[in-house]
Amino acid sequence: MRIATLSIGDELLFGEVTDTNASWLAGRLYGAGVPVRRHLTVGDDEDEIAAALESLAAEHDAVVVTGGLGPTDDDVTARGAAQATGRRLVLNEEALARLREFFDRRGREMHPANERQCLLPAKAGIIPNAAGTASGFHLVHGGALLVFLPGVPAEMTRMFADSVLPLILSRRTERRSVRTLVLSIFGLSEAEIGARLTGIDRSRPGLTVAYCVNYPLVEVKLRGEGEGAPVVDELLAAAAPLVRERLAGFIVAEGDETIDTAVARLFREKGMTLALAESCTGGLIAKRITDLAGSSAYFLLGAVTYANGAKTRLLDVSDDLLAEKGAVSAEVARAMARGVRDLAGSDVALAVTGIAGPDGGAPDKPVGTVFLALADRAGCTVKQYRFSGDREKIRTITAVTAMDWLRRWLLSC
């Protein structure tokens, strides 16, 4: 089954808004075994919309369209759909009834402009929208299913999952299955990973290996395609152990898990507690920890001790040590980790101090110099790194390096 997606909106063409709808749809459709074959983006122009629809409908079995269903003058998707399919625009009574009910439930009066959202191509089927004013709609043209959804992501995703995906799958005649196993890799470049995995897919028809950089991680995607789920599952089951063997020591997460959720899971499983002391990352590590619900069960304390005085007052780092070694040093990182562990009473503590730039570097400690320290009941270990990139990249790779160290420490417990 050939699927295409079409995004509509001047704001997308002008770079004012990121098109998250297209990537979300591509992921959901691929996971359902009907990968997107083509994607287009056009502006709020009736003729452009009609031309895109005619082109896509001629070459695909289904087209999913997002955007342009609002109540303003620049929302012209329905007009473009009518032009492309040779249908009249009519007031859709079902859409109007749903719209009035939407406002009644909220005790609000419907503005007359909203009624234009119910002017749809004749004989269009309605896709309910429980979260907004714009009903979606669908119709068949030249054998192709055309589906139209609002551009608001929260509305679109719910409508697609509840109504559209089942509709698309009901029209599928073939039963080929597609599965993807994602492995997140940290510590190897894309080129190094590719070299290690050379040849894995050559002797396995239906298996492909793809790579996606999500800095500083690289995602390895094992994709299996074949006649039925059992065949594909067997294909992935045979290839996955070989991939794990060749990338041993660098796989930080698999499947839906991320490095952050892996660390969270391990803290819960091991029953350990954590404290953090951050300087150059400014709380970024703590944010990654606390972005996940339930982190209060193991995360006791986070201190952003940016200034030297804060390191002294909160973590008991001595003024003499700071003066002698400097805030960015192995000795200060060690003192920070020990200090925050004593303060929190945690099983493990991790501290970071470094120079994220763009200023502050020196010949012996250039921008990108970072010290990480991990303290537990066995003692305190310090590691030094030289990262490259701008301020954001240095802070990001520092935070991920810290998470990976915690992950490895937990696995060793």
In this predicted model, what pLDDT tens digit does every residue of 294-345 receive, in sequence order?
A: 999 999 999 999 999 999 999 999 999 999 999 999 999 999 999 999 999 9
Contact between 395 and 306 (Cβ < 8 Å): no
DSSP H stretches of helix in 132-202: 153-159, 165-170, 190-196
Helix (H) or strand (E) holding 252, with range, is strand 251-254
Per-residue confidence (pLDDT) for residue 32, from 0 to 100: 87
Contact between 352 and 285 (Cβ < 8 Å): yes
- The closest of 238, 294, 283, 233 to 261, measured between CA atoms, is 294
- State the amino acid at position 347 in one-letter form: D
- The closest of 286, 401, 301, 281 to 353, measured between CA atoms, is 281
Q: Mean pLDDT over residues 143-151, rounded?
A: 98
**In this model, does residue 203 exceed pLDDT 80?**
no
Q: Output the pTM of the full model.
A: 0.78
* CB neighbour list of residue 114: distance below 8 Å, 6 or more residues apart: 71, 99, 103, 133
Query: Do residues 147 and 236 share a domain?
Result: no
Contact between 240 and 181 (Cβ < 8 Å): yes
Q: Mean pLDDT over residues 148-153, rounded?
A: 98
Contact between 183 and 254 (Cβ < 8 Å): yes
Query: Do residues 193 and 160 share a domain?
Result: no
Query: Do residues 351 and 289 share a domain?
Result: yes
Query: Do residues 219 and 309 share a domain?
Result: no
Query: Do residues 298 and 281 share a domain?
Result: yes
Query: Do residues 280 and 398 share a domain?
Result: yes
CA distance 304 to 310: 8
CA distance 309 to 122: 71
Query: With bands split at pLDDT 50, 70 and 90, how would you rate the model's confidence at 204?
Result: confident
Per-residue confidence (pLDDT) for residue 173, from 0 to 100: 81
CA distance 382 to 384: 7
- For residue 227, the cross-strand partners are 176
pLDDT tens readout for residues 155-196? 999 999 999 999 999 998 877 788 899 999 999 999 999 999
Mean pLDDT of the chain: 96
- Residue at which a domain ends, from 189, 221, 254: 254
**In this model, does residue 225 exceed pLDDT 90?**
no
Query: Do residues 49 and 22 share a domain?
Result: yes
Query: Do residues 248 and 267 share a domain?
Result: no
Q: Mean pLDDT over residues 48-64, rounded?
A: 98
Per-residue confidence (pLDDT) for residue 142, from 0 to 100: 95
Work out the end-to-end distance of the chain between its first and last CA atoms, rounded to an integer number of angstroms: 49
Q: Which domain holds residue 220?
A: 176-254
- For the chain, how many structural domains are there in total? 3
Per-residue confidence (pLDDT) for residue 135, from 0 to 100: 96
Query: Do residues 152 and 180 share a domain?
Result: no
Instruction: Using alpha carbons only, give the angle 356, 362, 368 rounded to the nearest 5 degrees.
Output: 25
CATH code, 69: 3.40.980.10
Query: Do residues 104 and 149 share a domain?
Result: yes
- The closest of 13, 73, 72 to 43, measured between CA atoms, is 13
- Residue 142 structure tokens: 């030249």
**In this model, does residue 52 exceed pLDDT 90?**
yes
Which contacts (CB < 8 Å, 24+ apart) does range 357-360 have? 357/390, 357/391, 357/394, 358/390, 358/391
Instruction: Using alpha carbons only, give the angle 408, 412, 413 rounded to the nearest 5 degrees.
Output: 120
Query: Do residues 127 and 217 share a domain?
Result: no
